[in-house]
Structure 1
């Protein structure tokens, strides 16, 4: 299909290429061979009269022109998917949509585990890809690279539709045999003196509790291990004298299974408020709306 001499298939391929910045990964996503993907990139370069992606060392980097057209291309494709194609396939039982969802392993285990079980019957042809909020900034949503972005309320963008999902408490978790903590209460002195296991604080610290901990404890907190998700924290905590601070719903799921003990905080902590956000062009997409409603109703019953 051509529009003003432009093969529209090139836009689909270029959208993926600019996101992945890798021919092999792009080919896999589009179910093409590597040579076919290289050929498409060559055709796109010829049409736009620009290199688009340039090999720099072991990675491919977009040219200034590619960066300039990336957002318009993604927005056009997102509008087509949500406003045109999405309206044709509005039966969950028959829909073959692929949803990309940014959500932490905490959200997946506490919320989506039961949703996916139900969807296996209600919408068996839907497929899902979960991306970590510790690896992807909220800009992935604005560029059309994700269908849903689930993260703390503070991350939600003005002007983008969103919905409150879960409110959780924070809890201290230690190994069941931790000799430093006796009973079900930990003191402020122990929290300050014990080694900590933390998750995902660096450039995405706004998605964790690190800012609050720094303000509360100052420089007295000793971080021994930094991991890239909550599940890994569990395994770096077992058999040690360390402490981890986790969402309570997640901690309760893993405590008995992994021989851990959830203890009360010695001081007041902020609530963890998780919300779900999506691109405005998907607001009236029937299948997208159906999935959102399923997620919201499940979260309300937690």
Structure 2
């Protein structure tokens, strides 16, 4: 049996097997016998030339091939379901798995209320949060390793197929420990000489700052790079390091860590922030529902402004 000969029924069975990791449970959901599901699994293994599920102790685990197949399969099954029915999307009956790439700030402050709301309305939707990396996020969207990512404007052109929805505008500000000398008077020389913490993981917030300084023929002193806002603020709050980040994040973190916020001594253009996804999900009802919830949360959350 080859992949080309797989029927929609085979694909549905594969989706249930990968979701449940259990032949009996998958069989029950598909309303077939355990032996019938075992036979289907055998055909699927033959078609993909892979075990797909392997026994580890008392349970079955997905192989690497199965983990790679799963997000693509969910898209296909979603499209098949949409074609088979014109009924409105029902969150309560949806069973999907979405991976979101966001900064630790978004994960810690913006998303918790939303994730609770998603679970209440759509208990069958599973969400995985991974740390966003600006150098790989587009590739991960194209390859369907992630389904939604947060982004800021000015990180280069998007390739065909990647869709962006801007949800807000912001500028940059500096954060320093309470009573930091630069909080009283942040001039260019003081800013450049101060040791800087740079947050690089969450959409590379350093890029616009260093580009603006380069245009002026100047360069700051970067002493620490981290992918996490939380670790950056732990350092800033107990040292003379400073941090340059989006102003709305600066204000909230400064309140949380009892730090000072002060303006940059040079101009950096405002920027937009929003969400990225791949156009393969344009007509995917579950994905559209999820991203609508994300947009609403980014627009309404106190931590986004």
**Given the alignment, which residue of 67, 73, 81 partners 2:77?**
81
Q: Does the Cα contact within 8 Å between 2:2 and 2:48 map onto a contact in 1? A: no
User: What CA distance in whole angstroms lies between the structure 1 residues aligned with 2:72 and 2:114?
Assistant: 30
Equivalence for 1:150: 150
Unaligned runs of 5+ in 2: 23-42, 51-63
Q: Does the Cα contact within 8 Å between 1:162 and 1:278 map onto a contact in 2? A: yes
Equivalence for 1:181: 182
**Given the alignment, which residue of 165, 169, 172 partners 1:170?**
172
Unaligned runs of 5+ in 1: 14-28, 34-42, 51-61
Q: 1:285 to 1:30 in 2, by over 3 A?
A: closer
Shift of 1:237: 1.1
Q: C-alpha deviations, 1:113-152, integer Å up to 9, x for none?
A: 3422433433344321112222743111111111112212
Q: Does the Cα contact within 8 Å between 2:198 and 2:206 map onto a contact in 1? A: no
User: What CA distance in whole angstroms lies between the structure 1 residues aligned with 2:46 and 2:119?
Assistant: 44
- Secondary structure, counterpart of 1:220 in structure 2: coil
**Given the alignment, which residue of 191, 195, 205 partners 1:208?**
205
TM-score relative to the length of structure 1: 0.69
Q: 1:110 to 1:166 in 2, by over 3 A?
A: farther
User: What CA distance in whole angstroms lies between the structure 2 residues aligned with 1:74 and 1:154?
Assistant: 32
Q: C-alpha deviations, 1:205-245, integer Å up to 9, x for none?
A: x7333354144155531111111222211112121111110
Q: CA RMSD in A?
A: 4.0
Aligned length: 260
Equivalence for 2:37: none
Q: 1:109 to 1:168 in 2, by over 3 A?
A: farther
TM-score relative to the length of structure 2: 0.69
> Based on CA coordinates, which of the two structures has the bigger radius of gyration?
2
User: What CA distance in whole angstroms lies between the structure 2 residues aligned with 1:229 and 1:44?
Assistant: 41
Shift of 1:161: 2.8
